[in-house]
Amino acid sequence: MWVVGHAQVGWFLARATKLERRDRGLVVLCGALPDLDGLSLLFGVTAYYQVHHVWLHNLFACAAFGLLAGALARRRLATLLLGTAAALLHLVSDAMGLLPLVPLWPLSARTFAWDDVNYLLAIFGEIVVPVLLMAWQVRVLRREGKTLLEALAPRWDAALVAWFRRRFPQR
Protein backbone atom coordinates (compact mmCIF):
# COMPACT_ATOMS: atom_id res chain seq x y z
CA MET A 1 0.00 0.00 0.00
CA TRP A 2 1.18 3.55 -0.56
CA VAL A 3 2.04 5.96 2.23
CA VAL A 4 -1.25 7.87 2.02
CA GLY A 5 -3.17 4.64 2.56
CA HIS A 6 -1.08 3.84 5.62
CA ALA A 7 -1.73 7.34 6.96
CA GLN A 8 -5.47 6.92 6.31
CA VAL A 9 -5.52 3.74 8.37
CA GLY A 10 -3.98 5.66 11.28
CA TRP A 11 -6.47 8.49 10.84
CA PHE A 12 -9.47 6.16 10.79
CA LEU A 13 -8.18 4.44 13.93
CA ALA A 14 -7.68 7.76 15.73
CA ARG A 15 -11.10 9.06 14.67
CA ALA A 16 -12.80 5.97 16.06
CA THR A 17 -11.63 6.89 19.56
CA LYS A 18 -12.29 10.63 19.36
CA LEU A 19 -8.71 11.71 19.95
CA GLU A 20 -8.08 15.42 19.62
CA ARG A 21 -6.42 16.72 16.46
CA ARG A 22 -2.85 16.72 17.77
CA ASP A 23 -3.06 13.12 18.99
CA ARG A 24 -4.78 12.06 15.75
CA GLY A 25 -1.85 13.56 13.88
CA LEU A 26 0.59 11.49 15.93
CA VAL A 27 -1.34 8.30 15.16
CA VAL A 28 -1.42 9.24 11.46
CA LEU A 29 2.36 9.67 11.51
CA CYS A 30 2.81 6.30 13.22
CA GLY A 31 0.90 4.69 10.37
CA ALA A 32 3.08 6.36 7.74
CA LEU A 33 6.54 6.53 9.36
CA PRO A 34 7.70 3.00 8.51
CA ASP A 35 7.93 4.11 4.89
CA LEU A 36 10.73 6.53 5.75
CA ASP A 37 13.12 3.66 5.08
CA GLY A 38 11.92 3.88 1.46
CA LEU A 39 14.00 7.06 1.13
CA SER A 40 16.91 4.66 0.72
CA LEU A 41 15.93 4.72 -2.97
CA LEU A 42 17.80 8.02 -3.15
CA PHE A 43 20.98 5.95 -2.81
CA GLY A 44 20.09 3.54 -5.59
CA VAL A 45 17.97 0.50 -6.21
CA THR A 46 20.39 -1.82 -4.42
CA ALA A 47 20.22 0.27 -1.24
CA TYR A 48 16.44 0.36 -1.50
CA TYR A 49 16.15 -3.43 -1.65
CA GLN A 50 18.57 -3.80 1.26
CA VAL A 51 16.91 -1.22 3.53
CA HIS A 52 13.21 -0.80 2.64
CA HIS A 53 10.98 -3.15 4.63
CA VAL A 54 13.88 -3.74 7.03
CA TRP A 55 15.01 -0.77 9.14
CA LEU A 56 11.58 0.64 10.00
CA HIS A 57 9.32 -2.24 9.00
CA ASN A 58 9.80 -4.35 12.12
CA LEU A 59 8.15 -4.90 15.46
CA PHE A 60 10.72 -2.86 17.37
CA ALA A 61 10.23 0.20 15.15
CA CYS A 62 6.46 -0.12 15.57
CA ALA A 63 6.84 -0.13 19.34
CA ALA A 64 9.23 2.84 19.17
CA PHE A 65 6.79 4.84 17.02
CA GLY A 66 3.99 4.11 19.47
CA LEU A 67 6.10 5.02 22.50
CA LEU A 68 7.25 8.27 20.91
CA ALA A 69 3.68 9.20 19.95
CA GLY A 70 2.49 8.38 23.45
CA ALA A 71 5.21 10.52 25.00
CA LEU A 72 4.22 13.50 22.84
CA ALA A 73 0.46 13.09 23.22
CA ARG A 74 -2.10 14.57 25.54
CA ARG A 75 -3.97 11.28 25.88
CA ARG A 76 -0.80 9.26 26.26
CA LEU A 77 -2.02 5.68 26.64
CA ALA A 78 -4.65 5.86 23.92
CA THR A 79 -2.19 7.48 21.50
CA LEU A 80 0.55 4.98 22.37
CA LEU A 81 -1.79 2.03 21.72
CA LEU A 82 -3.34 3.46 18.56
CA GLY A 83 0.03 4.61 17.21
CA THR A 84 1.51 1.17 17.75
CA ALA A 85 -1.58 -0.41 16.16
CA ALA A 86 -1.31 1.91 13.14
CA ALA A 87 2.36 0.99 12.67
CA LEU A 88 1.59 -2.72 13.06
CA LEU A 89 -1.24 -2.47 10.52
CA HIS A 90 1.31 -0.88 8.18
CA LEU A 91 3.41 -4.04 8.51
CA VAL A 92 0.40 -6.30 7.99
CA SER A 93 -0.63 -4.50 4.83
CA ASP A 94 2.94 -4.45 3.49
CA ALA A 95 3.19 -8.18 4.19
CA MET A 96 0.58 -8.57 1.46
CA GLY A 97 2.92 -6.93 -1.04
CA LEU A 98 5.74 -8.24 -3.16
CA LEU A 99 8.70 -7.18 -1.00
CA PRO A 100 9.59 -9.41 1.96
CA LEU A 101 9.58 -8.06 5.50
CA VAL A 102 12.18 -8.61 8.22
CA PRO A 103 9.86 -8.30 11.24
CA LEU A 104 12.41 -9.11 13.97
CA TRP A 105 15.29 -7.01 12.63
CA PRO A 106 17.85 -6.27 14.13
CA LEU A 107 17.61 -9.44 16.23
CA SER A 108 17.00 -11.68 13.24
CA ALA A 109 17.53 -11.30 9.51
CA ARG A 110 14.88 -13.93 8.75
CA THR A 111 12.45 -12.63 6.17
CA PHE A 112 8.72 -13.05 5.95
CA ALA A 113 7.16 -13.36 2.50
CA TRP A 114 4.19 -15.17 1.05
CA ASP A 115 5.09 -17.74 -1.57
CA ASP A 116 2.33 -19.04 -3.80
CA VAL A 117 -0.44 -16.49 -3.44
CA ASN A 118 1.78 -13.43 -3.31
CA TYR A 119 0.44 -11.83 -6.50
CA LEU A 120 -3.18 -12.23 -5.38
CA LEU A 121 -2.34 -10.69 -2.00
CA ALA A 122 -0.40 -7.91 -3.72
CA ILE A 123 -3.39 -7.07 -5.90
CA PHE A 124 -5.57 -6.95 -2.79
CA GLY A 125 -3.08 -4.94 -0.74
CA GLU A 126 -1.96 -2.55 -3.48
CA ILE A 127 -5.22 -1.99 -5.35
CA VAL A 128 -8.34 -3.17 -3.51
CA VAL A 129 -7.48 -1.86 -0.03
CA PRO A 130 -6.38 1.62 -1.24
CA VAL A 131 -9.52 1.97 -3.36
CA LEU A 132 -11.67 1.03 -0.35
CA LEU A 133 -9.78 3.50 1.86
CA MET A 134 -10.24 6.29 -0.69
CA ALA A 135 -13.95 5.50 -0.98
CA TRP A 136 -14.27 5.63 2.80
CA GLN A 137 -12.33 8.92 2.83
CA VAL A 138 -14.68 10.42 0.23
CA ARG A 139 -17.66 9.30 2.29
CA VAL A 140 -16.27 11.03 5.40
CA LEU A 141 -15.49 14.11 3.29
CA ARG A 142 -19.04 14.26 1.93
CA ARG A 143 -20.71 13.66 5.30
CA GLU A 144 -18.44 15.53 7.70
CA GLY A 145 -16.28 17.82 5.58
CA LYS A 146 -13.05 16.29 6.88
CA THR A 147 -10.08 14.57 5.32
CA LEU A 148 -6.92 12.95 6.57
CA LEU A 149 -5.24 16.35 6.28
CA GLU A 150 -7.23 17.77 9.19
CA ALA A 151 -4.93 15.93 11.59
CA LEU A 152 -1.74 17.22 9.97
CA ALA A 153 -2.47 20.46 8.11
CA PRO A 154 -5.89 21.98 8.92
CA ARG A 155 -5.53 24.79 6.36
CA TRP A 156 -4.83 22.31 3.57
CA ASP A 157 -7.78 20.26 4.78
CA ALA A 158 -10.06 23.31 4.59
CA ALA A 159 -8.79 24.14 1.10
CA LEU A 160 -9.30 20.56 -0.11
CA VAL A 161 -12.80 20.39 1.38
CA ALA A 162 -13.72 23.73 -0.23
CA TRP A 163 -12.38 22.58 -3.61
CA PHE A 164 -14.21 19.26 -3.34
CA ARG A 165 -17.51 20.95 -2.47
CA ARG A 166 -17.17 23.36 -5.39
CA ARG A 167 -16.24 20.57 -7.79
CA PHE A 168 -18.82 18.05 -6.52
CA PRO A 169 -21.76 19.94 -5.04
CA GLN A 170 -24.17 17.81 -3.04
CA ARG A 171 -27.67 17.44 -4.42
Closest CA to 65 of 95, 44, 35: 35
Contact 114, 95 (CB under 8 A): yes
Listed ranges 48-52, 86-90, 117-121; the one with the highest mean pLDDT: 86-90
Using the predicted structure, report yes or no on whether residue 112 has a pLDDT greater than 80: no
Angle between helices 21-32 and 59-72 (to 10 degrees): 160
**What are the domain boundaries of the chain?**
3-167
Average of per-residue pLDDT across 88-104 = 85
User: Which pLDDT does position 117 carry in this prediction?
Assistant: 61
pTM: 0.90
Q: For 25-29, 58-62, 124-128, 145-149, which range has the lowest pLDDT when averaged over its residues?
A: 124-128
List, for residues 144-169, the tens digit of each pLDDT value. 999 999 999 999 999 999 999 999 99
CA–CA distances in Å: residue 32 to residues 2, 90, 128, 136: 9, 7, 19, 18
Q: ∠ CA(36), CA(31), CA(151), 5° rounding? A: 110
